Amino acid sequence: MSVSYRQPGVVLTDRRFTVPLDHADPTGETIELYAREAVASDKADKNLPWLLYLQGGPGGKANRFVGRPAWFGRALEEYRVLLLDQRGTGASTPANRQTLPLRGGPAEQADYLAHFRADSIVRDCEAIRPQVTGGAPWTVLGQSFGGFCTVTYLSLAPEGLDTALITGGLPSLDAHADDVYRAAYPRVERKVAAHYARYPQDVERARRIADHLLTHDVVLPNGYRLTVEAFQSLGIMLGSGEGSHQLHFLLEDAFVRTPGGHELSDAFQEQAQGLLSYAGRPLYALVHEAIYGQDARPTAWSAERVRAEFPRFDAAKSLAGDEPLLFTGETIHPWMFDCDPALRPLRETADLLASRTDWTPLYDPARLAANEVPAAAAVYHDDMYVDTAHALTTARAIRGLRTWVTDEFEHDGVRTGGPRVLDRLLALARDEV
């Protein structure tokens, strides 16, 4: 039974759907999907086209908006919007340390999680679309990993799409995870250099914290073991519009003087654990590298292996000399499953996913080359999370796709740019500019 309720300027309706766990076995096990339907209050009785929003991640639930902020308000001017909690996230059937043991042991858990990639998400969308739109195609807006899913949608089921809009999410069609991370580490280093140029005082602050972590065993209040590598991973913040400023504010009061000497402050530890914990999005850690698996080659903890090719990210070597400490970016490492209590029980499951050799292709280059769906993509210049060169190569491979390349925003431009990003993409897709 659907439940409707109101927020300022918006009518919301909770929707639930049942879909196969494995779409190749439609009579087998099922899971539940949750989505929130939204329509502007003054258009609630109108027959409007639909826009499906696919959140970034993987493993990210749909936005929980209050009112009509950012792109959402622009979309509500002409669409009914469906905010989908992709399988395993949010209020959909969860996949985490508490629920995965219901599957059995690590092998059964890994087999289950192999169904949580973009191809399954797209087939979920196609399974629920007739119930939502009555069978009409819909416009899809994909942010980051949601953009990856949108390219998969164009590959697997373009007949379900009226328009495809992508923000910061054009994936390489054929790169292995190793290729992705070899391109990523130099990009991250540029972002770190830009941060230190903006906040030069953070060079010494970061070195001091790293030195403390190399010589002390620090366990955060939630049980997270704060190693120097974990501290470096806070660099993931540098890919968002406000991330550099937020990192600066985190570092500026990291230490407090105590009777036993200087220690990391409770305030710093509280903030750090909120930023580092994957308790709210364990799928991000579990299947992150699997989103780049498309053949028999295992991902094999790619980000960790490739990091060794970039010795400047070695904290101990930086501190032994006078080099600034380098933060890292959007990478998942095996040590995270030792440090994070939300991931610790899933370490063996993660190892099995990393060694998997039966990944199937997520994109169809021939079908993309023959694309007829109006499509537009925002490509953020020097995006920390998605390689710009990879994105533009893919853009050229999708027939009719129009791109807007901009350095006005970081990866989260669709959020920070108000209605402008969605406005621009709609205009491009409609050939209005």
Q: Which two tokens stand for residue 19?
A: 């879909």
Q: Which two tokens stand for residue 74?
A: 């622009």
User: How far, in Å, CA of 19 to CA of 28, rounded?
Assistant: 10
Closest CA to 124 of 98, 89, 167, 162: 89
Closest CA to 405 of 421, 423, 385, 384: 421
Catalytic residues: 144, 358, 411
Q: What count of other Cβ atoms lies within 10 Å of the Cβ of residue 81?
A: 26
User: How far, in Å, CA of 60 to CA of 275, rounded?
Assistant: 15
318, 325 contact by CB (below 8 A)? yes
